[in-house]
Every structure is written in structure tokens, then in C-alpha cells.
A and B are shown apart, each in its own frame.
Chain A
Amino acid sequence: MSLLAPLFLLGLLGLAVPVFIHLIQREKKRVVKFPSLMFLERIPYSSVRRRRIHNWALLLLRLAALALVVLAFSRPYVIRPQRTVTGTGAREVVILLDRSYSMGYGDRWQKAREAARKAASDLTLSDRASLVLFDADAEVAVRSTEDKDRILAAIDQASPSDGATRYAPALKVAGTILNESSLPRLEATLISDFQRMGWLGSDTVELPEAATLIPVSVEGPVSTPNAGVAAVAIERSTFENQERITVNASVTNFAATPLPGTSVSLEIGGRAVQTVTTDIAAGARASVTFQPVTVTGPNLRGTVRLANDGLERDNARHFVVSPISAVPVIVVDRAPGSGSSSLYFTRATAIGERPSFAASVRPPDAVPDDELKRAAVVVVNDVAIGSGLAGRLRTFVEQGGGLLVIAGPRTTWPGGGDLLPASLGGTSDQSKGDAARLGAVEYGHPMFEAFRAARSGDFSAAQFFGYRTLTASPDSRVLARFDAGAPALVEKAVGKGRVLLWASSVDLEWNDMALKPVFLPFVHGALKHLAAYAAPPPWLTVGQSLDPQTLSASVADPVAVSPSGTRVVLAGEASEVLTVDEQGFYEVRGAKGIGAGAVASVVAVNVDVNESDLTPIDPKEIVAAATIASGGVRVEQTGMPLSSEAQERGQRLWWLLLAAGLAAFGAETVLGNRLSRA
């Protein structure tokens, strides 16, 4: 039996209070001066004495209640024999070494390595040890070996990575290793700077029940200045037909001291082009805007860099920009002069920058093969399509192209039109009486993204005097309907591509939609959706994966080269999914064929800026989470015998004592009332 808060026992001195009061009361409580005790002295004394005996019972009850409450506050617990910690025998030790980039701050990495070496040196001949290096992922460097030297060598080889800290994966790996062990004593040593951001409250870790977790904190005072580039925003603009970018960087000072005169520089192509000086208050964020820079060519590499400070890796933020390439669009229309109806449509495609569209109008019998291959979208504008072109278009769509069919009065499609999402029916003439209007529109669809917000575009303003009656096929999706319920816009996925069918014209022949404000965003939305356009991200964060599809489309057998020079084959039989784990620029090159060796694309990779925040967490929090996750009263994972707090928490004797004390107080009240009434 022991006490968690023995100082509370001082409260037992409070027991003296009722006794003291009782003693005083017996003789001196409320002295009443009375002229003469002549008569009182004649009255027998017995009534007084009887009362005193009753008082003793009440007093004992009060004392018991007080003592119980005081004991409850001192939180007693029964010391139970510990299971394994004090036992002897060979140990299975897992050394978890944090190698996140924050370990590069100050002398943390040296301290951590020292701690790891010490843990390894403490091993006896019969012990087995593993070394797990972890940042956001855990890597088992050495698995369960008796060879102490291997562990020491692995520790010496380890170095901080560019990753962020996450404790849960490392602890899970440790749990797996310890679970597999047959040795009697299980230990895990967690060496880290214990950053708060590395531990999510929801993380669950599964250490075996008998395992102990020894946290070794290398966290030191955060005295050295530590600032980081938290974010970079790139704004594009066009100036005299040249594309320009304006870089806006946000710099955060994580330290508790202000940083006056911090210089922030912008590097383009590895060369510093601008430097801006700014003051950052302690714990604050400052924004820096650089002068616009012209985008001279594809894959322009940029870096926003701070002067070196306590933590080096968060001082640079890389990005890659390329000139925006126009989306190639072929508009198949009747020959010019024969009543071309593409005027409004082509004008609409000529507007806009993100993306811009390069539309070329071709008659149905003159669509060149190479042009079709390059095109992202083909628009068939109210023409009769021959079977030859229909077949080519089917191939085009199946390979990932987008097809927009505008069904006017002249549109026909050979072969039953199974490429189209709906079969073309007759013409519905709405020129007499009320014109038809667009009723239901699927605003949830990506192509209507621009209209999703309230009051952003009114499709019902447009009047439709004629449209083709469509019968949607079962595998298609109707995106818009006329107010009579007939489909107006139908979509279908074919192969890798998509087909959209619009039931009316895009000129003024059948409707006035081309004159309405919704027309331009409608056309842009449709083309963007068909071209599957997505702006390339200016950078990735360490830990994300490269998408080989988007990077290697233009080169054969692409190979990615990491900033440190490692080559990874992205396509072919030996292809790997590449997880970027280094800060800097990854280059994708063609390994052979045309353009071998030339850089096809560049990907900027940045470190997770959250890791810059060195705010520590109490290691006990992680240890406690491990305890709770395993459940029950047992040895806590601290390497020491189960802490008294944990033992007490498991037993909760205080609760019983407090309840008993309150019950005693209740009984005292009842008894006291009854006595005073008697």
C-alpha cells in the first residue's frame, strides 16, 4: 500500500479540529453568565452526561468521514508485483532513431546518435537489437541481430532525411518486431526531439503487453534563430506576349526572438535574381513579394531561399513553372463560306489563359492524321460525318481524346452512332409558342464547376427554338435537360476518353445561347473537361508520389533522376512508383530513343514545413497513449517500473474512499439530526 500524494495526509491534522471543538465545547462552549447557579446545581447532572456519550458516537462518525476523504485525496494504491521489468533474461531491444529533418537543428543529431550508440553499447551478449530509422515512414535498418557492431555501423551511417516526424509508424514497426521476438524482456528505445506535430492524438500504437518504452529526448533549448519559407504563391500574368510570374513567399519565424533584416532571395535556374530584406517578429509570419519574372522556357526552376539558420532544410522552397501550353482543339465544320456556324464557338475558345485553347477549323473531309494525334479535343459542329472520320474519331476517343458533338439540323452519324452517348432523333421545333429553355442542369458535374456557386450563371435565360430529340443510351449520363424533359447534354466515357453530345446548335440558328453570359464559361468548362486539363502542381512535398503518366508521356522509357543523382526507371518492366524523399528538383529524362538524356520534365520537391515547428510534446503523452492502447493495468512502457500514477490510475481506490467518506457524512447528518431532535 502506498500513496500517490502523501502530502494530503497533512489533512489528517484536520481530524484534530472536531476533537478540539468537542473538548472545548464540553466545558467552554458558549458560556452563559447567570445570576446564580443555586437552582441549577440542585438539578441532577445525568441529562448532560447522556448527551455527551451520544456526542462521542457522532464525533467518531465525523472523524471517520474526514479521514476517508483525506485518504481519498492522498490517492492510495496497492503496490502489485511487476511482471517483467525487474525480471532477468535476454532482451529484445528496438532502437527507434528519429531522422526527420528537424533533427538537424543544433546538436540534436549528435545527441541522438550518442543516445543510440549508448543504447547499443548497453546490450549484453544474449540480447538482440534492431535499429529503426524513422521520419514519416519507418525503415528497419538492422533487424533483430546479436551483432552489436552492425547496429553501431548502421547508426554511424544514418543521417537526417528530408522527411517530417511521425511516431506512430515507427512504434508500429517496433511493435511488430517485439511481437515476433521470443526473448523474455522486450524494450523499445525512442530517441527523438519529440515534436508535437509528429504525434496525432488519434494515433494508435500496438506495443506488446510486456514491452517497455524508453523515451530519450534530445530536445534542447530553441535558442538559435529558426525561420522557414512556409509557402510560395505563384501568380501568372502576361506582359507584351511574354508570360510572367510573380512570386509571393511567406516566411515564418519559429523562434522566440525577432529576426530583423532577414534576407529572402529568389533564385531562378539556380541563380539568385532578387533579394528582399524583411523583419519578422517572434513567432510571426512575414510576406515577401518579388518582382515579376519572365518565364523563358519550360521547366523553369525557381527557389525562394533564406539565409542559413539553426534548421537548414526549411530555408529553401523550390518550384517549377512552365509556360502555359494551349490545349489543341480541332473544330470540324463545314467549309468556310458554306454557312459556317463556328463563329461564336471559335471566338469563345480564343479567350482565356488558364488554359488557353488553340482551335483550328477543319472540314470533315480534311482532318489531318497528325493534327488529330496532337489534338486534345475534337468538336464536331453540325456536320454529317462519314464512316471514315467516324472510325478515326472512335480511335481518337478511345486513346484518351475528348469529343464534343454539336447536334444541329445537319448532323448525322454513321453506324447507328454507338460512339455517341445518345441516338439522334428528329428535330423538335419550338419556334411557335414558348421557346424551350434549359431546365435541369447537373451542377455537380466538373464541367459546370464555374456555375456551382449561387447566382453564377442563369442557363434559363437562353431560348431554344429547335433541338434534336435525343434518346440517351443506358451507359451515358444526362448532364442537362430542356424544360420539357428532353436531354440537352449527354456524356459518355469511351475508352480513355469522353464524348459529349449537345442537342442544339452553338450559333444563332436554333437558340440564342451564344449571346448569353453563360456561353463562354459553358464552352470552356466543356473543353477543359474533355481535355482532362489540370494545372500541374508547382511542387510536391517529400513523401508524395510522382505520377509517371503525366511526367513521361512525351518520352520513351522515362527515368527519374533524384537531386542526389539516384536513377529510377519509371516505365517498362522495371518501373517503380517513385516516392519523392529528397528535397530539390527531380528530373525526368528519356532513357533511350529520340530525346534520350534530354530533360522532359522537372518536379520540385519541398520539405514538409510543419516539421520546422520545434514545439515539443511531453514524451509521457506518447507513452501514456501506448499504455492506454494496450489496456489494463500493467507495466507501463517507460523502461522503469510501472509508475505510481499508472498503478493508482488502474486501481482508483480514491473513488471508493471518497464515496465511503461522503456516505459517512450523510450518516453523520442523519444521526446528528436525530440526536438534536431527541
Chain B
Amino acid sequence: MEPSSPIPGARFVDPAVLARIGNLELIAKSIVDGFINGLHKAPFYGSSVDFAEHRGYVPGDDVRRIDWRVFARTERFYVKEYEADTNANFSVLLDMSKSMDFGTRGITKFEYARILAGCLTNLVHRQRDRVGLVAFDDDIREHVPPSAKHMEVVLHTLDKLVPVRAGKLLPPMKKLAEFFGRRGLLVVISDLYEEPEAVAEAIGPLRFRGNDVIVFHVLDPSELDFTFPDASSFEDLESGVQIPVVPEGLRDEYRTLVKAHTEALRKKLAGHRVDYAVLDTSKPLDFALFSYLNMRARLMRTR
């Protein structure tokens, strides 16, 4: 995914370099700082904390939220409502399956995903949103409920994750769909090695409670281009199955298949109103952040 326009001041740092830093908090902070500095002139920044509307008081509403000025004019109780996302729930759903532990450009997909999750968390935290984290493979492995105070916990949890098991999208998603009752923003970061139908079936339900869902499809460049030179045995990271492969002979077919896969995913997820972006781990993280904000802005405008 390419940015639509160059962003002044954005820090297009090679992810491989970031991966070597090790301190996730530092990375997330420095990337996001630079990113925000670069966005000062962005037209949509700040709009999310704006006043949204008045609504009639219903029993159960906090009396503190009653707009007394409106009461003075109209003698009716109205409650002031702001844009919900100003402190919406934000959760990263991070795939920590074994297949994520792959990389050919100095950084694995998992490391990339982790940095991305850290950055997003940091970015969102600055917007005073509640941040949470779910790490899953074939089940939920780590769960940090969304909270405004959970920034450090999320980063710490991210830091200690190690991908070891095979992944399966459906079981953990099913559980999560029930869990995320409160409307919020869910970011799924995964390599999505499942049939598009299965992916859609797993992720679609997350939308049911009104959550906004963004799917970041993280892939290594070699997964996209299949640039292996020599005939080799290819071993599945998760199942351990090996097959002999002559890359030269089936490179084109492979690329076609991957392209078809991502297209199918895009279509299926779009059908569920889920945003979908393919992230190449050789591209700087700024692209991912930019695409996130872009999407957020779009979501707000279309509301």
C-alpha cells in the first residue's frame, strides 16, 4: 500500500533498522512523534475531539453530562455528546501464529506486526483513547482489556510475545466477537493464511457489535514475489510439511495465486465493511500508520 501523497517530515525508517532497536516503547514513541509532527497540517487532525450533538436525557445518564445552558433555554434535559472515538476503545488483535515468524529482509513479519501494534497503540493513546491488546494463534493467548491506563501494559505484553504455535483464525475470533461488546476500533494484524471465505467468516462477526475493523495483512516481500533463487525443499513453518520446489518454475503461478488471494480477501472483507490493507515488511511503518489515519478520517466523514 503506497501513500497517496508524500507526507512532510514523516519518518520513513526501514523496519529492519527499527527491529534492531529492541525497545518497543522507544520505537513506538519515536515513530509516532515524528509521524504526528509531520501531520500538523493535516486537515482532519483534531476533528475527532469535536462536539458532536445533543441528545435527550434518559434515566441512567450521568447527570453531570446534562447541558445546563440548553436546559436554561429550553427547560429540557439534554445531554451533550462528543465524538465517540475521542476516547473509543482501541484494540489490536495480533496474530502470533508460527507463520508470522518469517522474514527475509532482516525483520520478521511478527516483529513488524509488533512494532506496528506498538505504534498504533502509542498513537491512539495520545488521542486519549483506551488501548487494549489481544494476541492469538489458534486461541487467545494474551488479553489486555482496553483501558486508558493500559498503554505500558500493552507494550510490555507485546514485547514478551513469542510465536510458537500454528494459527487458526476462527476460534479466537469467535470468542472475541462476543467479548468486544462495546463499540470500538479493532485492528487485526495477521498474515491471513486461510481461505478468504474462512477469513471473512472469522473477522466479519467482529463488526456485529458496531466495531470498526481494520485488517492489516502483513507479508514478507518474498511471500509476495517468491524471489527464491535455488531449487529447495520448502517447509511449512506451522505444519513442518516439506515439498520440493523449483522457484523459477512456479514463480509466476505463485504470484498469480497470491494476488488472487489478496483480491479475494479485499472483496470479502469489504463485503463485511472491514477495511483491508496489505503491508509489505520492507516498507516503512509510516505507510501503515498513514493508511490507518486515512481510514479513520474516512470513517468519520462517512458517519
Contacts and interface: CB of A to CB of B under 8 A. Distances in A.
A33 B237 contact: yes
Given A35-B191, A40-B250, A51 B231 contact: yes
A30 B230 contact: yes
Nearest to A46: B249
A34 B247 CA distance: 12
| Range class of the A interface residue count | 20 to 34
Interface string A41-58: 111010110010000000
Contact of B242 (A27, A38, A47): A27
A36 B241 CA distance: 9
A45 B245 CA distance: 8
B153 to A, nearest CB: 29
A34 B254 contact: no
29 contacts: A27-B233, A27-B242, A28-B242, A29-B231, A30-B233, A31-B232, A31-B233, A32-B235, A32-B245, A33-B102, A34-B102, A34-B223, A34-B235, A34-B237, A35-B102, A35-B223, A35-B237, A36-B191, A36-B236, A37-B236, A39-B254, A42-B257, A43-B250, A43-B254, A47-B249, A47-B250, A48-B246, A48-B249, A51-B249
B232 A32 contact: yes
B235 A40 contact: no
B237 A40 contact: no
Contacts of A34: 102, 223, 234-237
B130 interface: no
Given A43-B257, A47-B246, A48-B245, A32 B238 contact: no
Contacts of A51: 231, 246, 249
A26 interface: yes
A574 to B, nearest CB: 100
Chain A, interface SS category = mixed
Interface in B106-138: 109
Contact of B99 (A31, A35, A47): A35
Interface residues of B, number: 32
B109 A37 contact: no
A141 B152 CA distance: 119
Interface of B: 99-100, 102, 109, 191, 193, 220, 223, 228, 230-239, 241-246, 249-250, 253-254, 257-258, 261
A192 B113 CA distance: 93
A548 B125 CA distance: 133
Contacts of A29: 231-233
A48 B236 CA distance: 18
A103 B177 CA distance: 113
Contacts of B243: 37, 40-41, 45
Given A31-B233, A36-B193, 15 more contacts: A29-B233, A30-B232, A30-B233, A32-B232, A32-B234, A35-B193, A35-B237, A37-B243, A39-B258, A40-B250, A43-B253, A43-B254, A43-B257, A48-B231, A48-B249
A52 to B, nearest CB: 8
B242 A35 contact: no
B174 to A, nearest CB: 22
